[in-house]
Chain A
Amino acid sequence: MGQLWEFLSFAEPNIRYVTFGSILLCSSAAVVGSFIFLKKKALVGDAVAHSVLPGVCLGFILAGNKNPILLIAGAFVTGWLSLVTIDYISARSKIKEDTAIGLILSVFFGIGILLLTYIQHSGNAAQSGLDHFLFGKAAAMVSDDVNIFGGMAFVLIIAVALLFKEFTLISFDVDFAKTIGFPVKGLELVLTTLTVFAIVAGIQAIGVVLMAAILITPAAAARFWTNNLRKMIFLAAAFGGFSGLAGAYISYIAPAMPTGPWIVMVISVIAFFSFFFAPQKGIVMKLISRRAMAHQIQEENVLKLLFQLGQEDKNYFQQRSVGDIQARRPFNTKLLLSALERLKKQGFLEKGDDRWQFTQAGQKKGARMVKLHRLWEVYLTRYLRIAPDHVHEDAETIEHIITPDLEAKLEKLLEYPVKDPHESDIPYL
């Protein structure tokens, strides 16, 4: 705990630099990455990230030391070249895009590794720390680096803010953008350039190998929380920034650990949490709402059945046992009992001596279910020309989903029929 306070107090100027640098880098990458995600180019981002390695090495070979400007320039050139090559190969041959991405990614990275090992074996003392570009080392940033990389991140955020509308459009519908006279090629070029920029800026903190994650994962996570693009980008930036902060902290307390994998771990945990638990879109939330739907269907079926029995006996408020209900329709006993209990809680049923009976509200709702079922049967026979003996199954499903609005439309369209196709009465209230 002491370490955390020491870290958060930013007493050491170096911690301050590194922390703000990492946050800025990760959040700016997440902002640009949001557009890459929306353009469905996540894997291209991965390829570019790997492809900056040979550029960094060439920059080093040219400079003879770790001159940040030359390293960045080198990274920029090869990162950019990889994008152009991927497009060129998939446009000019029968090689498909995914193959071109994998090819360029691995070959460029291979060349990078070859150059890196060559430099390492060449005995140049200045090379130590060059391998930090592979997996990132936020703590190794010195104030000059932070100024340069942080400055780049700042430029990125400003550029995206200025071109927000344009990027949104080219991510959503390129053809439309063309027809309204947007300089689509130019804009794509700017977005690509910014992407390479973001990757180059991020390699100090995350490294080339896992850089793609910080571009894509925050956007993918944010997408699960909102349908609003602005909110999504802010959220992605916040997720990215938080993982940058966490990465810087881990770099501080555990110097042996590379920063990149930890940043990716933090952002991945956020992402998987979002995939499963985000309201509405999350996988678990979907399962829960599906369960609620299943409950609703069981309840409505029970009410409908009680109403039908009442209609036959001409007594809607007779008490009935579980056996009575099951004699008509073989519900699973456990499911039936829990549905009955829920209906009691909702005030549709009353219970006495293990026997159940309608309340006024319950009888009304049961009547509505029977009406919907029979109306739908009429609709199917009249409008879909389905034989009367074939309509029951479908009505069993649809009756649960018809809203009051649709109910009114259905009644009007069918002109309030009194009998269903099997000559049973349709109950109106």
Chain B
Amino acid sequence: MDAFWIILTGSFVSISCGLLGSYLILRRMAMVGDAISHAVLPGIVIAFLISGQRDSITMLIGAGVLGVLTTFLIEFLHKRGNLQTDASIGVTFTWLFALGIILISAYAGQVDLDQDCVLHGEIAYVPIDLWITSTGKIIGPRAVFITGSVLIIIISFIIIGYKELFLTTFDPAFAAAIDISTAMWHYLLMGAVSLATVASFESVGAILVVALLIAPPATAYLLTEKFLFMLILTAFLGIFISVTGYYLAVSIDGSIAGAMSTIAGLLFALAFLFSPKEGIIITWLKNRIIKKELSESF
């Protein structure tokens, strides 16, 4: 049963991240996703210090605010300070992440978080932290409900704004010309990314969230040319990664989140080499066959 809860949480997390990541990579904002996932850390710690407990709602708010603030700060430094984009991303998130780690170390006694949790999460402890009602009834692991609700929110967001997200991603100038607010959808998307990151944070940690944001959609992108199909494929890849990642981690007694990212990378490598249309090896083989045919025909 423990394995089931862990895999279920892992799947919720990877589907949420993967769906949003699909938009990020097509908008060339993969690294903004990376920045947000790091920068939510001080938000989480401050929320912890304020509420004094692992209160999920405060944490979601604290981290969500920090996430959107990060995007603001990156754009502010870039536009007002004329700092190049890559540097404004790099400076902003390393600073916020360092702040988070310092806060954790300084309030080690008060904050129920440690550096390990920040780096690779505590998905293994998901089954221990149960949600118990006032009547004493055990409903199930808390993380399952949190990540599950976030997944539902994100899926509804994508269904409602499908057209707008699609258009502002593909051709922002045209979107603006027909009066779709690119800025609004940009910040809504960033808000959703913050939400997904923070919900995933406890399970897989700040850095490995990035693997789930980027690797599955990048893999799907190589395998399909239809956007809707890319989203669906990403979701299935997320589930697959959770299942295999869990068993890999158990078999060598390592971190589950680490194993999930390893699998995610492996799947990408396979798609990169063997994708029917784009794969490096497939293309090489095709070229060889063509060459051979050519030389035989003469």
Contact = CB atoms under 8 A, between A and B. Distances in A.
Q: Touch between A and B in complex, CB under 8 Å?
A: yes
B77 to A, nearest CB: 6
Given A92-B280, A103-B214, A217-B90, A117 B255 contact: yes
Contacts of B213: 102, 106
A160 to B, nearest CB: 19
B231 to A, nearest CB: 16
B105 A261 contact: yes
A260 B33 CA distance: 23
B contact patch SS: helix
B91 interface: yes
A283 B208 contact: no
Contact of A42 (B86, B95, B265, B278): B86
B99 A265 contact: yes
B255 A98 contact: no
B201 interface: no
B94 interface: yes
Contact of A107 (B34, B86, B221, B264): B264
Interface in B229-275: 248-249, 252-255, 257-262, 264-265, 268, 272
A45 B91 CA distance: 12
A88 to B, nearest CB: 9
A271 interface: yes
Nearest to A286: B80
A contact patch SS: helix
Interface string B94-137: 11011101100110100000010001100000000000000000
A93 B221 CA distance: 10
Nearest to B205: A113
Contacts of A140: none
Contacts of B65: none
Which residue of A114, A213, A272 has the most chain B CB atoms within 10 A of its CB atom?
A114
A46 interface: yes
A40 B86 contact: yes
B10 to A, nearest CB: 13
B105 A102 contact: no
B98 A264 contact: yes
A256 interface: yes
B215 A103 contact: yes
Contact of A275 (B77, B120, B214): B77
A89 B119 contact: no
Contacts of A41: 86
Contact of A114 (B214, B254, B268): B254
A41 to B, nearest CB: 7
A101 B98 contact: no
Interface in A19-57: 37, 40-43, 45-46, 50
B208 A110 contact: yes
Contacts of A258: 101, 105, 115
Interface residues of B, number: 59
B211 A210 contact: no
A118 B254 contact: yes
B276 to A, nearest CB: 13
Nearest to B271: A93
Contacts of B254: 113-115, 117-118, 121
B28 A98 contact: yes
Contacts of A223: 83
Contacts of B155: none
A286 B83 CA distance: 14
A209 B252 CA distance: 24
A381 interface: no
Contacts, number: 209
A210 B98 contact: yes
A257 B280 CA distance: 46
Contacts of B272: 89, 93
B93 to A, nearest CB: 9
Given A106-B211, A110-B264, A135-B115, A220 B98 contact: no
A281 B77 CA distance: 12
A296 interface: no
Which residue of B81, B83, B98 has the most chain A CB atoms within 10 A of its CB atom?
B98
B29 A107 contact: no
A105 B34 CA distance: 10
Interface in B20-62: 25, 28-31, 33-34
A113 B120 contact: yes
Contacts of B34: 43, 46, 102, 105-106
B7 interface: no
A135 B101 contact: yes
A15 B82 CA distance: 40
A275 B90 CA distance: 14
B33 A102 contact: yes
The 9 closest A-B pairs by CB, nearest first: A110-B261, A107-B265, A114-B258, A213-B94, A113-B258, A106-B211, A268-B95, A264-B98, A106-B210
Given A95-B218, A264-B97, 12 more contacts: A37-B84, A46-B90, A92-B280, A101-B30, A103-B215, A110-B211, A219-B87, A256-B108, A261-B101, A261-B102, A261-B105, A262-B98
Interface of B: 25, 28-31, 33-34, 77, 80-84, 86-87, 89-91, 94-95, 97-99, 101-102, 105-106, 108, 115, 119-120, 207-208, 210-211, 213-215, 218, 221-222, 248-249, 252-255, 257-262, 264-265, 268, 272, 278, 280
Interface of A: 37, 40-43, 45-46, 50, 89, 92-96, 98-99, 101-103, 105-118, 121-122, 131, 134-135, 209-210, 212-213, 216-217, 219-220, 223-224, 256-258, 260-262, 264-265, 268, 271-272, 275, 281-283, 286
7 contacts: A43-B90, A92-B280, A106-B208, A108-B265, A109-B211, A113-B258, A115-B254
